[in-house]
Amino acid sequence: MLRKNHRFAYDIKNLKGDILGGFTTAIVALPLALAFGVASGAGAKAGLYSAIITGILSTLFGGTPAQVNGPTGAMTVVLIELYEKFGIEALFASMLVAGLIQILIGVFRLGKYIHLIPQPVIIGFTNGIGFLIFIKMITYFKTNPLLASITILIMLLFPLLTKKVPASLVALIVGSVIGIYFLPTDALVGTIPSGLPNFALPTFKLDALYQILRSGFVLAMLGCIESLLASLIVDEMTRTKHHSNRELIGQGIGNTVASLFGALIGTGAIVRSVVNVNAGGRTRLSGILHGLILLVITLKFGSLASTIPLAVLGGILMGTAIKMVEYNATRTIAYASKRAGTVVIVTTLLTIFTDLTIAVAFGTLLSMFFFVLRMGEVYLKKYDIDCTGLTKEVVSYTIEGPLFFGVAHAIISKLEIEAADADIVVLNLMNMPAIDSSGAISLKNIKEVLKSNDVELVFAGLRENSLDLLLKMDVLTEEEVSLSSRRIGEVLDQVKALAI
């Protein structure tokens, strides 16, 4: 056993599980790599070598040992549109940009911010990607509708019989046999160039530069999101913790090299990673073996792929797309929260009818907006005060949580409405751990508004860390500091004494 503190240390006890995991995921990855390569426009070989190169390099340098990398549906959707608009060279140029951006994100330790994307947004764009893949594959479906339908049924129904054998592999073999002997078609994968891929820097027309940079950014962000999401799932299954920034550097290295050798870029593949873990894979060896096994298959048996009908590959991806849509998660979220359900639906529709960048950005902003509304509803709590024997109406509220720009206006607006009929308002700040300048300005404004309506605002429970800001923003005077820093009970007793 190698030293445990070495970055690539290996425990021989994992050998059996890693070998089984590598072999199993290679079988699962084979038909998907072929299908994604052909669908992207770059060809079957580009899909195969994507699984090989990213499967080896992204795993070797990444931060999630049990994760398996390769081409995925989300990436393929963007690649299809890019290829259709600007051609093969722009396709590889965008992928090169994406790989370099991912390396920079990891180097500058920005990986943690990728996790800030809300779960309803992730579910929404995953749904949208599923619909887009299905729509894009209609062209292949039309080449032999019956054969494609049979392939889709195998993809959907075979897992009901057993999950030990990958449905995609069964669909590939059975569909190809039916297509060759019973439902022949001229629409085939075609000749796959033999040998290893050649190094080549992508060239492109200058007028495509903006689209290349834009698409590269979209691909990079999408790859980061999908890879780190897969990492979280692997963490949960293996009870380990991935390294986000190292993972993105590994993804970037694998994708940069892949684009320079005529292969598609990839991401951490959720389904393949789950298959790997379930088969016993726990270390980098399983992912690397997966890539090496695919390399042997490509070099020795790649010629057999030339006879695969496009209808079969289209059927495999259409079946994959149907399973990608998060039906249960969407229903659960929509039932639990109408606002979260709205985010899922809006993000899904924007993914289908605009693009992934707009969908994720708008979905995230919409989630933030709903969060602000929710915080405005729950942050301000009213507590009943016994005003018996008092000549003035005293009311008390507590701010439950930080008072920052996102919720300050909603809270203060609610306070202004509810406290309109009071004579004295006691605002307890004990449970307000922090406040920013927007929150301070809001407190100052409500104090002035209430004063203009002959309502006195008294603060209580003010924390030391907020005192300096409130003094500098003229929310408090030096004379008010002493009373505002006392506990709510003491302040209420003093206010009641003055209101008799």
**pLDDT per residue of the chain (500 residues) written in tens, 0 to 9:** 344 444 555 567 788 899 999 999 999 999 999 999 999 999 999 999 999 999 999 999 999 999 999 999 888 988 998 888 888 988 999 999 999 999 999 999 998 888 788 989 989 988 999 999 999 999 999 999 999 999 999 999 999 999 888 899 999 999 999 999 999 999 998 877 778 899 988 887 788 888 889 899 989 999 999 999 899 889 989 989 999 999 999 999 999 999 999 999 999 999 899 999 999 999 999 999 999 999 999 988 888 888 999 999 999 999 999 999 999 999 999 998 999 999 999 999 999 998 877 898 899 999 988 877 776 665 788 888 877 788 888 899 998 888 877 677 777 777 778 777 888 999 999 988 888 888 899 889 888 888 888 889 999 999 888 888 999 999 998 888 888 999 998 988 888 887 76
Decide: helix, strand or coil at residue 426.
strand
Give yes or no for a contact between 211 and 86, defined as CB atoms under 8 angstroms apart.
yes
The C-alpha atoms of residue 489 and residue 427 are separated, in whole angstroms, by 12
Residues in a beta bridge with 398: 381, 428
Residues of the chain with CATH 3.30.750.24: 380-498
Q: How far apart are CA 314 and CA 336, in angstroms?
A: 36
* Segment 246-302, tens digit of pLDDT: 999 999 999 999 999 999 999 999 989 999 999 999 999 999 999 999 999 998 888
CA-wise closest residue to 407 among 448, 437, 431, 374 = 374
Whole-number mean pLDDT of the chain?
89
Output the pLDDT for position 8: 52
pLDDT for the residue 64: 95
Please give the model's pTM, rounded to 2 decimal places. 0.78
Choosing among 3.10.180.10, 3.30.750.24, 3.40.50.150, 1.10.10.60, the CATH entry for 380-498 is 3.30.750.24
pLDDT in the model for residue 147? 96
Within 8 A by CB and 6+ apart from 130, the residues are: 73, 321, 322, 323, 324, 325
